[in-house]
Amino acid sequence: MKTAAELKHGEKARISDINSDNPSYKRLIEIGFTPGQEIELVNTSVFDDPMAFSIRGTLIAIRRNEADCIILS
């Protein structure tokens, strides 16, 4: 099982689930990180936190701990 935090720069993957135990679960769903969507890691900061993903034609930056609860297929 791979998470969005483990993607390499430019790598794409499809979201299979979001860990509902994470406090940011609802926020991630609301901003578009839903199961079935394809995401691409576009950029990271110096310490890989935050991480910028392309999803639904939009660039969204989230914290590494939030990306770690996005489970990919």
13: domain CATH number?
Answer: 2.30.30.90
Q: Can you give the pTM of this predicted structure? A: 0.89
Interatomic CA distance for residues 40 and 20, integer angstroms: 21
Give the residue numbers spanning the domain of 54.
Answer: 4-72
Residues 10-47 have pLDDT tens digits of 999 999 999 999 999 999 999 999 999 999 999 999 88
Q: 2 has which bridge partners?
A: 72
**What is the model's pLDDT at position 1?**
86
Interatomic CA distance for residues 69 and 25, integer angstroms: 8
Which residues, including other chains, have CB under 8 Å from residue 58's CB and lie 6 or more apart? 32
Interatomic CA distance for residues 68 and 64, integer angstroms: 6
Number of domains in the chain: 1
Interatomic CA distance for residues 60 and 57, integer angstroms: 10
